[in-house]
Amino acid sequence: MSFSAELRKEANPIFHAIFEHPFVQGIANGELKKEQLIHYVKQDFEYLSSFIRIYGIAVSKCENREDMDMFNQQISFILKSEIHPHNNFCQVAGVPYEVLQGYPLSPSSHHYIRHMLTVAHEGTLGEILAVLLPCPWTYWEIGKRILNEVNPDRSHPFYDWINFYGNRTDSITTKFCDRIDEWAKEATEREKEKMKEHFLISCQLEYMFWDMAYKLEEWPVKMEVVK
């Protein structure tokens, strides 16, 4: 079994908990509250900005142009394309995208971003790939599952979101998996253990991100935003 297949197998219970999560079910059946969509977009806008910065750190650790190019393409993808699924949520919620930008992180998004940043600063390129992989992988599988199970038509409120993530053939997931498998062939057992741990924690944090949006999670004590 390839290393990426081993990762997917170990994370299977977490992937299934994500598919069953009420926010993900809400995308499938079109039933999410306006506040939940707004909270998600506010947090995900900041998450994606951090993801770009983490790709920047990954680039600084690359030893060849192919790896640099892979991360560079992903930075462009986030900047130019990942606005479409956010726009879909904004349209359904009836709010302009611009007003949802620049908010502070809530606890689970903070935790997820710090987890990725720590590994990016301290880890090898293999560890960085492992900590980032659950992000594209879980979304790709969510999209594919909803396409298969619901087969939404254009009247579905989240038609664009579902097709954006589910309808990818040249998936980044495949590229990351191939690169991680190549990396794992040369890695020590200790490094592979760390890669596995980072991967599984990111999967848990993907779950927590959905939960954060669904429950409108905030810090226990409300803080004034200092401008």
Ligand X SMILES: Cc1ncc(C[n+]2csc(CCO)c2C)c(N)n1
Closer to ligand X by Cβ: residue 59 or 78: 78
Closer to ligand X by Cβ: residue 73 or 193: 73
Three-state secondary structure call for residue 162: helix
Q: Minimum distance between the CB of residue 226 and ligand X, rounded to whole angstroms?
A: 26
CA 38 to chain centre: 17
Closer to ligand X by Cβ: residue 199 or 209: 209
> Residue 177 and residue 162: Cα distance in Å, rounded?
22
Look up tokens 């359904």; give the residue.
92
Selected from 3, 15, 23, 51, the binder of ligand X by CB under 6 A is 51
Q: Which long-range contacts (CB under 8 A, 24 or more apart) does 219-225 make?
A: 219/106, 219/107, 223/104, 225/104
- Tell me if 40 contacts ligand X by CB under 6 A: no
Selected from 32, 44, 119, 195, the binder of ligand X by CB under 6 A is 44
Closer to ligand X by Cβ: residue 172 or 187: 172
CB–CB of 196/10 below 8 Å?
Answer: yes
Q: Minimum distance between the CB of residue 212 and ligand X, rounded to whole angstroms?
A: 9
Q: Minimum distance between the CB of residue 75 and ligand X, rounded to whole angstroms?
A: 8
Positions 121 through 180 that interact with ligand X (CB under 6 A): 135-136, 139, 172
Closer to ligand X by Cβ: residue 57 or 185: 57
Positions 84 through 113 that interact with ligand X (CB under 6 A): none
Which residue in 5, 115, 137 sits closest to 51, CA to CA?
Answer: 115
* Burial of residue 213 (number of CB atoms within 10 Å: 0-12, 13-18, 19+): buried
Selected from 74, 88, 163, 202, the binder of ligand X by CB under 6 A is 74
Closer to ligand X by Cβ: residue 12 or 76: 76
Instruction: Specify the DSSP class assigned to residue 133.
Output: T
Cα angle 92-94-95, degrees, rounded to a multiple of 5:
120
* Burial of residue 225 (number of CB atoms within 10 Å: 0-12, 13-18, 19+): exposed
Positions 170 through 209 that interact with ligand X (CB under 6 A): 172, 206, 209
Would you tell me which residues interact with ligand X (CB under 6 A)?
Answer: 44, 47-48, 51, 74, 77-78, 82, 135-136, 139, 172, 206, 209
